[in-house]
Structure 1
Amino acid sequence: MASNGKVDASAVLEQYGHDCLREIMDDATRSAANARAKVKGADKPKAKSSPAQKQRGKEQDVELPTAAEAWNAFDRPPVPTFPLDALPQTLRAFAEEKAMASGADVSAFAMASLALLSGVIDHRVRLKPKRYHDDLLIPPVLWTLLLAPPSSRKTAIMRTAYDAIDRLDGRDLEAYLAAKEAEEELAKLEERPVETIPQPRHRIITDATSERVCALLSRQDCGAILIRDELSGWIGAMDKYGGGGKGAAQDRSIWTRAFDGGPYTQQRVSGDRRVRNLSVAVIGSIQPDRLREMGNLDSDGLLQRFLPVVMGEAQPYRDEERDLRVERAFTDLINRLDGMEPGMFLLTDESRARFEAFDADMIKAGRITEPSPAFGGFLAKLPRTLGALALILHLVDVVEGRALGIEDVSDHAVANAERIVREFVIPHGTAFYDLQNGGQALSRVRQIATAIIRHNGPTITLRSLTRITRGLRDGREDALKQLFVFEAGGWLTPVERGPYNTEWFVTPGLGERFAAEHEAEVRLQAEIRERIMRGRRGGP
């Protein structure tokens, strides 16, 4: 739908087999357009279309948008903020309090709080989405990746996650040492052998080698969480430890198994090691300029298991009086979730129908190859993410008394989890994979925008755009998908309704509105061409 709300362009996607993405693209594009409008001062009175604009769309009874309403196609699309109202009040208040005190992105704190719970809850707690089959059992495991520019204060987020879980590990270690010392003294007095005291639970993994992970999890079935301030170090250690070849691939295969959990046997020269539940949650960060180091991890699906969060810029912190009730409520929540016994949760009929519809959407979405082929694999894994998020939200309701422990996971929990995935995870994933792919999607958008501004005349055809824009030469279906964004962004208005439209009205005044951006793009393209020609001539 165009930004004026009068043109239904969703049929274009439906006609070409992308109906599953219609809602996704509508939400992501509109939220991006709204964010840009707010940044540009959209609270000003809406400009009225001139008589000339109305005349251009008269025959089609379409009122064209104004250039002031159009989104800036030359800017990198802003990513939406986390839908905080989808979280239980305890988690929302905690994220807001920590973001205010540190100045770090509240959306990153919100995702980190869910990742933190993923490391606390016993991974033998499972969600069984299917009524009759148990081939899909989803643990409360999340892999969260913070894409953190310098000075984004991501360390505050990582420290918060670490400290909250380390408190539990420290408590159990102290109790273990005290029990061990007491047993040694008692055995000495009774003149008998010292009995073995069970090892304490280790929730945090600091040594990320597969050898160490399997050794730790062979002693506990409840899983653990890897917390790394810089995931690039984890990746580097993986390749170094595995020798960068067959060993590195084997190391990665262990980690991909750890995402889903379940039994695993590690074969070693010194003897096989049995792990009854190889299950690890992950939270870490990486700087944008080190994204290329993760490029080889999308070949086996390791990268696609992460939920990327493109962090916003840090804001000045607010040194206000702490609300101790928020911290006490969060600490109490952590303690209660930590004490939950393993168990299996089912879905209600309503929540199962919602889960199945989402799963069907993502099966189709898995064929997407833009902004990179890995993005389709990322989308295809999101039903499991939906299940994990719904399970975590339901468990919070259970320990806080809003649901009984014997109740099935409600449609309310699944609906909130779906909001988080559709409104936050998918748009951030789109931005992440575009960056990871070198920003090619943004480059194509800029090329299309330049072609539209350069065009003379009130309308422009698909044939004209394809002829002058290299980024639209991958077929009619792909071209229409890319031009849909310009319809939603207020640049183009279809001349005809329906899936067969190949001509658009061009919003007047775009050249004047984006003159500076257009000139900068033209200079950039000229510089690129000059460098190419200089290389061919063998010049300096």
Structure 2
Amino acid sequence: MKELVGFYLKYLEQDFSLTVVDDKKASICKWTELQTNKLTKEEFTKIYTSHKAAGAALITGYDNLEVVDIDLKVFSTTSEKNEFWETLLSLLREAIFDFDRLFSIYKTKNAGYHILYKTKRCQPSQKVAKLQGHTQAVIEIKGQKGYVIMYPDNCVNGVQYSDIQYITDKDWHSLMSICRSFNYIIEKEDIPTQQKNKNNVYTGTSPFDDFNAQNTVWDVVSDEFTIVRNLSDRIVIKRLGSDNFLSGSIFKESDLLYLFSTSTIYPAEKGISAAAAYAYKYHNGNFSDAAKDLYQQGFGTRNEKEYKEKEKIVIEKNIDYEYNEDDIIFPIDVFPVQFKSFILQCNERLDTVIDYAGCSLLWAISLIIGNSLQVKVKNGWYEIPVVWFSLVGNPGIGKTPSIRLMLAPLIKENNKKIKEYIERKKEYDAYEKLSKAEKEKHIDVEPPSKKQNIVDDITMEALIDLHENVPHGIGIFKDELAGWLKDMNKYRSGSDLEAWLSSWSGSSININRMTRPGSFVEKPFMPVIGGIQPGILNTLYSEDKKDNGFMDRMLISFPENIVPLYNDKEIDYDVLKWYDMAIKKTILLIEQIDDDRNKVVFSTNAKKMWIDKFNEISNKQNSENENEYFKSMYPKQKSYIPRFALILNVLFCTIDDKYSIDVICDKAMEGAIKLSDYFVAHAKKIKFEKKVTEDMENVTNNHNSIYEKVKAAYNNDNNFNRSKLADLLSVSRITIIRYVNEIKDAHEGKY
């Protein structure tokens, strides 16, 4: 270390003040005095050559020297350290032009970093960023009353200590805002937990809590800010029109907005919820007025009298579409605990949707069973486990990823079969091109047949031809079901539709076209699954498809979902491997049975549960209170319940040998009934959504501007569904709320 004395002395000759430190990084001399009066070369040499000296440090604050000190010891793994540093560095490079030339960067002994520069805004030393769950700062600003150890050999970007220069105020502000954006310790904005409406003391769930539950803070402020970077734990944002690179962050876990910019309508350096942001944005921070406004919009628990009156109105209007709210939640408990755990882990770590994943698992097991098994409900009544799923949701909500994850083992095997066919077809085509003499010297090559059992875009004729080669069953998986539904009658009215209706029941299909020989399959097995948007599905509820029972056969899953932000959690590879092995085990279980629709019966208790549910459905069919539209759906549930029971029973047999493949257990029947209730509830939900949309269209159709349409909806019913109208008009929900506020103000004569 003594040989470095000359290196340090040259900095004393320049505009730097240095102190000498020991092996614990403590200053050997009184360094605070060096903020204004630096050591002479003689003084420094004398102290540095003492036995205690282990290095030197720059006095920050002297001649406006400031240093960003990044301490990565707070991270437990090297990958976490690297990720944090690379994220910080990329933001700085994006915000500050020519960053690597303006700043000096040195790596510290403990894998941290120093970013050095000079600024006329040099401040007292302070901690600016702590991570969630940590007390030690990850970023400190060393300015007045501070020092940093020098590391002569550790310059990262080629800008040496001697090259440190002044930066502009704009670059300094960008640097500070980026560093502060990593701070997780925030104070939440206090908002009243209870508010009064005009006549009642508010109790129960407050309008603010209800608003926060239904909206994100980004929903409120998205028209004022733009997203700079989407990080694992936060979204970094910038105010529109701001000269600064950043204005603040939105923390994903808490959904709180944290601003360090003071040039907005929101308070700085406080955690702001969606409701608090709404109060500042539309009521100038008056939380009392904001609570009244939100309450009038329907947020918060109604007082008892008001609730009963509202409930009465809703029942009178929509009694035909009533369903048990519990039935809307996918009954994931119907699966064996191992499969349930897998779906929940995928939901938590891969953001798959539980409803879509559950339906996809049912479809996968349906295809695996194929023509091997059927349920004997009673003599003369048999059900094959064919299922048709319509997974309803807006674009980007996660329909296809959820399906593909659950079908991955089957798709992998299906792709192998497709590749094998392509290779054999090439061999056969090459063989056919040989001359007669060449063929005599060659081993005979038979024409290959397709063996894939999952298809997407395919005509009914091609599907039946393929089914003849694969009698076990063919699954239809389409990312978008709309095309399948629209193309059903491509050749002539009723042809494909009739074939599909026959396939659902397991009856033989015989198709004759004038342009080709007939196609025939005796025991069709063709389950269907795919995604569809709610608006498109509503247009397909035509009278002909309703009259012939086609749409009644569709099992609809329409969960309430939002597009998730980035999820940094990883799923263990062993979990995915377990699922792959479980599906293969199910396949092996079924492969021991021939494709002859072997009969499976109910256990004694399962049959009792089935009879009770059958009679319950029959009573609904006979009831004068039941919507006639839904009465045609109930007979299909009498077919689906045994099918669900068979599928679930196979899953239980996969997990535990105590269950019998020939007898449907009590658990399977109990789960089948829950699944039926779930799909009935969602069928009513989609029909109700269609009716609400149609009613809203009727109210707004004769108006041109968005404002006039909102006004018409408000005048018709001031409690109209804001989200539904926003979707109908292709605008944000906040836009609807803003117009409603303007309309209410106009009614009250405010302007």
TM-score by length of 2: 0.46
Conserved in 2, the CA contact under 8 Å of 1:387 and 1:414? yes
Once the two structures are superposed, residues 143-197 of structure 1 have per-residue CA deviations (whole angstroms, 9 ceiling, x without a partner) of 1111112332223124335544221212334556778899999xx9995763648
| Matches of 2:566 and 2:665, distance apart in 1 | 37
**SS of 1:285's equivalent?**
strand
Tell me what 1:289 maps to: 535
Task: Give the helix-richer structure, 1 or 2.
Answer: 1
Name the SS for the 2:517 alignment partner: coil
Aligned position for 2:357:
109
> Is residue 333–residue 399 contact of structure 1 (8 Å, CA) maintained in 2?
yes
Mark the CA change 1:248 to 1:36 in structure 2 (over 3 Å): closer, same or farther. Answer: farther
- Looking at structure 2, the residues matched to 209 and 290 of structure 1 have their Cα atoms a distance apart, in angstroms, of 22
In the other structure, the counterpart of 1:537 is none
Per-residue deviation at 1:414?
0.4
CA contact (8 A) 2:336 2:655 kept: no
* In 2: Cα distance, 1:152 partner to 1:35 partner: 28
Alignment of 1:326-365 (within 5 A): 326-339=575-588, 340=590, 341-342=593-594, 343-365=598-620
Contact 2:650 2:661 (8 Å CA) reproduced: no
Distance 1:174 1:155, change over 3 A: closer
Displacement of 1:440 in angstroms is 7.3
Correspondence for 1:229 among 462, 470, 479 = 479
Which residue identity is paired with 1:419? K
Distance 2:651 2:205 in 1: 31
When structure 1 is superposed on structure 2, of 151-160 and 190-199 the one drifting more is 190-199
Tell me which of 204, 212, 215 is aligned to 2:454.
204
Structure (1/2) with the larger strand percentage: 2
Q: Distance in 2 between the 1:521 and 1:309 partners?
A: 25
The 5 A counterparts of 1:15-34 are: none
Question: What is the DSSP-based 3-state SS (H/G/I as helix, E as strand, rest coil) of the residue aligned with 2:370?
Answer: coil
Question: Could you say if the C-alpha distance between residues 404 and 158 of structure 1 is closer, same or farther in structure 2, counting changes exceeding 3 Å?
Answer: closer
Question: Of 511, 532, 540, which aligns to 1:266?
Answer: 511
Task: Please tell me whether residue 419 in structure 1 is matched to residue 674 in structure 2.
Answer: yes
- For residues 205-240 of structure 1, the C-alpha deviation after alignment (integer angstroms, 9 at most, x for no partner) is 21342222212112222111111111111122224x
Alignment check: 8 A CA contact 1:117 1:392 kept = yes
CA contact (8 A) 1:149 1:287 kept: yes
Corresponding residue for residue 391 of structure 2: 146
2:656 alignment partner in structure 1: 401
Instruction: Give the direction of change, closer, same or farther, for the CA distance of 1:82–1:113 in structure 2 (3 Å limit).
Output: same
The verdict on how the C-alpha distance between 1:174 and 1:234 changes in structure 2, with shifts beyond 3 A counting, is closer
The answer on whether the counterparts of 2:427 and 2:445 sit within 8 Å (CA) in structure 1 is no
Are the aligned partners of 2:425 and 2:448 in contact in 1 as well (CA < 8 Å)? no
Deviations 1:47-68 (A, max 9, x none): xxxxxxxxxxxxxxxxx95656
Could you tell me which of 687, 702, 707 is aligned with 1:433?
687
Paired with 1:368 and 1:435, the residues of 2 have a C-alpha distance of 24
Which residue identity does 2:363 align to in structure 1? A
Identify if the C-alpha distance between structure 1 residues 522 and 107 changes in structure 2 by more than 3 Å, giving closer, same or farther.
closer
What is the deviation of 1:286? Answer: 1.5
Q: 1:213 aligns with which of 459, 463, 469?
A: 463
Give me the TM-score of the superposition, normalised by structure 1.
0.62
Deviation of residue 306 (structure 1)?
0.8
Shift, 1:294, TM fit: 1.0
1:469-484 counterparts in 2 under 5 A?
none
Contact 1:291 1:436 in 2 (8 A): no
Give the Å deviation of 1:397.
Answer: 1.5
Identity score, percent = 17
5+ long unaligned stretches in structure 1: 1-33, 44-63, 444-514, 525-540
CA contact (8 A) 1:230 1:284 kept: yes
Decide whether aligned partners of structure 1 residues 374 and 212 sit closer, same or farther in structure 2, where only a CA change above 3 A counts: farther
Q: 1:372 to 1:69 in 2, by over 3 A?
A: closer
Give the alignment partner of residue 320 of structure 1, picking from 566, 569, 579.
569
Contact 1:104/1:313 (<8 A) preserved:
no
Tell me the number of residue pairs that the alignment of Structure 1 and Structure 2 aligns. Answer: 388
Distance of 1:519 and 1:425 partners within structure 2: 32
Matched to 2:484, the amino acid is W
Give, in whole Å, the separation in 2 of the partners of 1:522 and 1:90.
Answer: 40
CA distance 1:288–1:407, shift in 2 (3 Å): closer
CA RMSD, Structure 1 to Structure 2 (Å)? 4.1
1:460-481 deviation line (CA, Å, top 9, x unaligned): xxxxxxxxxxxxxxxxxxxxxx
Matched, 1:98 2:346: yes
CA contact (8 A) 1:372 1:434 kept: no
| Farther-moved stretch of structure 1 (105-114 vs 175-184) | 175-184
